[in-house]
């Protein structure tokens, strides 16, 4: 005899822990990329590009650039998702502001920064997605398409990332552009490999 059981939902404490861990992973990944003079995809990539041009903190830019997407998130994915996403972005802004004091990187191999930085950002995004949160931006659209249409969130993310990374050529050299593409691919591979319909039901 077989019995079906519904998946146990995350507790509020588990959600808080995931938001802290996911935000920390992304903040460290962004720090590595900026130390190597690289970019990546998504709003994070846009924030890095603008930061290179203006010298504003990446975390502050990340939050400001995401403001329009909070409205989209509320209308498409609900208040709970939007609230968690807003908290995540506030955490990221604070962590990014504190990173220069907490993590001083004087030198980093650009290839390592591209692969490890992109991967750890992808792991952070995955942790957030599995607790009904995101970093906003394209992630909101990607998660909506995944939830409603079953479209791979990683593939949507990768397509948009290619366009954003290409725009980085305005502020970085061609060799760093290639490594930035590698970073965006490393990020998207994590999402494609791990965020699939039916694979995870712990919401």
Q: Domain ranges in the chain?
A: 12-194
More reliable by pLDDT, 155 or 13: 13
What tokens does 152 get?
């791979």
Which pLDDT does position 135 carry in this prediction? 78
Q: Provide the 8-state DSSP code for 136.
A: S
pLDDT category of residue 2 using cuts at 50, 70 and 90: very low
pLDDT tens-digit map of 17-53:
999 999 999 999 989 998 999 988 778 788 888 888 8
Mean pLDDT rounded to a whole number for the chain: 82
User: How confident is the model over 100-123, as a mean pLDDT?
Assistant: 91
Which pLDDT does position 51 carry in this prediction? 87
- pTM equals 0.81
Distance CA 202, CA 191 (A): 17
Distances from the Cα of 58 to the Cαs of 92, 97, 99, 175, in angstroms? 9, 8, 10, 22
pLDDT category of residue 154 using cuts at 50, 70 and 90: low
User: How confident is the model over 143-171, as a mean pLDDT?
Assistant: 77
CA atoms within 13 A on the CB side of 74: 9
């Amino acid at each position: 005899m077989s019995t079906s059981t519904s998946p146990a939902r995350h507790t509020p404490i588990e959600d808080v822990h995931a938001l802290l861990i996911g935000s920390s992973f992304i903040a460290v990944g962004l720090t590595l990329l900026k130390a190597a003079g690289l970019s990546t995809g998504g709003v994070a990539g846009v924030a890095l590009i603008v930061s290179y041009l203006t010298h504003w903190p990446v975390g502050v830019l990340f939050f400001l650039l995401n403001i329009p997407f909070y409205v989209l998130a509320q209308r498409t994915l609900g208040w709970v998702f939007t609230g968690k996403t807003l908290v995540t972005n506030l955490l990221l802004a604070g962590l990014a502001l504190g990173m220069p004091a907490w993590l001083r990187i004087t030198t980093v191999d650009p290839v390592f920064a591209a692969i490890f930085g992109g991967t750890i950002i992808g792991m952070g995004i995955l942790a957030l997605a599995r607790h009904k949160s995101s970093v906003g931006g394209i992630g909101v659209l990607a998660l909506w398409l995944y939830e409603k249409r079953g479209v791979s969130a990683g593939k949507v993310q990768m397509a948009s990332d290619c366009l954003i990374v290409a725009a980085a050529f305005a502020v970085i050299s061609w060799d760093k552009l290639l490594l930035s593409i590698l970073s965006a691919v490393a990020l998207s591979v994590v999402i494609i490999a791990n965020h699939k319909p039916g694979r995870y039901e712990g919401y």
